[in-house]
C-alpha cells in the first residue's frame, strides 16, 4: 500500500471520528430539559426511570402520553410494571417489565405491545429538538440519525457541512506544510479548536525559516500532539546552524506556552459556567 493510500485511510478514520463526535455533541444538545424530567418524575413517580433523562426534549409529550396510558393498564393501586426508555436511530423505544402479581389477559398484553409500537412510530414523526411534527430522518455521520423538522434539519446539515469543510481545510493545511514532514510520514496534525491557530502559526513560522534558509530536508517536525488539552510540538533540526535551532526551539516553546494559557482560560470558563 502506497503512502497516499495510507494517508487517505488516515483521513477517513479521522473524519469518521469527528462525525461521531458531532453526533454525540448533538445528542447532548437535545437531551431532555431538567424541568421536563422533573415534570415527568412528579406525574409518574412509580414509573420514572433515569433513562428518561436521555430522551430528546422534543419527545417529552409523547413519552408522557405513553406513561399515562401505561398507568391505566394497572389494577386498582397496582402498577402494571416497570418501564425503561431508549432513544435509537430509528425512534423511541420503551422496554416493559410486567408486574407478575397482576392478572395479564392476552388483550392487556397486546395493549402494552400496542403502546410500545405507537410510541415508537409517533416519535419518528416528531422533531427531537422542538417536538414539531413532520420530522424526517437526518443522518449525521455513519452511525447517528436524528428526526428533525425542516428548521432543525437545516441547522444540523449546516453544522455537518461546516464540519466537513473545516476538516478539508485542515487536510489542505497539512499538505501546505508537507516540507516539514518526512517524505513517508503519515503524521496527523489534528488538534482541538483552541490549539488550531496556535499550531498553524508555529508551523508556518518554522516553514518560513526552512524555505528562506534552504533547509528543506534538514529540518523536520516530528511530533504534533495534545495531552489533556495541552499542545506539544517537536522538531528535529540538528543539521541547521545553532541560531536557527534556537529560533525554532523558541517558536515551539512559545506555541506550547500559548496553548497552556488557552487551556487554563478554557478550564476557568468551564468552572465559571458550572458555578
pLDDT in tens, 244-275: 999 999 999 999 999 999 888 877 766 655 55
CB-CB contact of 127 with 148 (8 Å): yes
Q: For 102-111, what is each residue's pLDDT tens digit?
A: 989 999 999 9
Do 198 and 266 belong to one domain?
yes
Residue 170 lies in a domain: no
The answer on 183 and 100 residing in a single domain is no
Lowest mean pLDDT among 10-24, 48-62, 215-229: 10-24
Asked if residue 118 and residue 191 are part of one domain, the reply reads no
User: Which pTM value belongs to this model?
Assistant: 0.69
Q: Which residue segment(s) compose the domain that 225 sits in?
A: 177-275
Region 46-71: what's the mean pLDDT?
96
Tell whether 4 is covered by a domain.
Answer: no
CA–CA separation, 206 vs 220, rounded Å? 9
- Look up residue 92 and give its three cell numbers: 423511541
Q: What is the pLDDT of residue 134?
A: 94
| Residue 13: inside a domain | no
Considering only CA atoms, which of 46, 29, 40 is closest in space to residue 65? 40
Report the chain's mean pLDDT, rounded to a whole number. 89
The three-class DSSP label of residue 219 is coil
Long-range pairs, 1-5, Cβ under 8 A, ≥24: 3/183, 3/184, 3/186
190 with 270, same domain?
yes
Based on the structure, what is the number of domains in the chain? 2
Residue 25 within a domain: no
Dist CA 49 CA 46 (whole Å): 9
Decide which of 104, 127, 150 is a domain's last residue: 127
CB 47 within 8 A of CB 82: yes
Cell numbers standing for residue 107: 388483550
Helix residue spans in 177-230 (DSSP H) = 193-212
182 and 275 in a single domain? The answer is: yes
Amino acid at each position: 500500500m502506497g503512502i497516499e493510500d495510507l494517508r487517505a485511510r488516515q483521513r477517513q478514520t479521522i473524519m469518521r471520528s469527528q462525525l461521531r463526535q458531532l453526533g454525540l455533541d448533538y445528542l447532548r444538545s437535545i437531551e431532555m430539559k431538567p424541568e421536563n424530567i422533573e415534570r415527568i418524575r412528579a406525574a409518574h413517580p412509580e414509573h420514572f426511570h433515569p433513562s428518561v433523562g436521555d430522551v430528546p426534549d422534543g419527545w417529552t409529550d409523547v413519552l408522557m402520553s405513553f406513561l399515562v396510558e401505561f398507568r391505566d393498564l394497572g389494577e386498582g393501586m397496582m402498577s402494571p410494571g416497570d418501564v425503561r426508555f431508549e432513544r435509537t436511530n430509528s425512534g423511541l423505544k420503551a422496554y416493559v417489565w410486567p408486574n407478575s402479581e397482576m392478572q395479564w389477559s392476552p388483550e392487556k398484553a397486546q395493549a402494552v405491545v400496542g403502546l410500545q409500537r405507537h410510541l415508537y412510530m409517533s416519535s419518528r414523526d416528531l422533531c427531537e429538538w422542538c417536538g414539531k411534527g413532520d420530522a424526517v430522518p437526518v443522518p449525521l455521520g455513519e452511525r447517528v440519525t436524528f428526526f428533525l423538522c425542516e428548521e432543525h434539519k437545516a441547522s444540523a446539515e449546516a453544522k455537518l457541512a461546516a464540519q466537513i469543510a473545516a476538516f478539508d481545510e485542515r487536510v489542505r493545511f497539512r499538505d501546505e506544510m508537507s516540507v516539514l514532514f518526512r517524505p513517508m510520514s503519515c503524521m496527523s496534525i489534528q488538534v482541538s479548536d483552541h490549539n488550531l491557530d496556535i499550531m498553524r502559526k508555529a508551523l508556518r513560522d518554522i516553514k518560513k525559516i526552512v524555505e528562506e534558509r534552504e533547509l528543506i530536508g534538514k529540518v523536520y517536525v516530528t511530533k504534533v500532539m495534545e495531552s489533556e488539552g495541552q499542545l506539544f510540538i517537536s522538531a528535529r533540526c540538528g543539521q541547521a546552524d545553532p541560531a536557527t535551532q534556537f529560533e525554532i526551539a523558541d517558536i515551539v516553546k512559545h506555541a506550547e506556552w500559548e496553548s497552556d494559557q488557552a487551556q487554563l482560560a478554557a478550564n476557568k470558563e468551564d468552572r465559571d459556567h458550572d458555578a
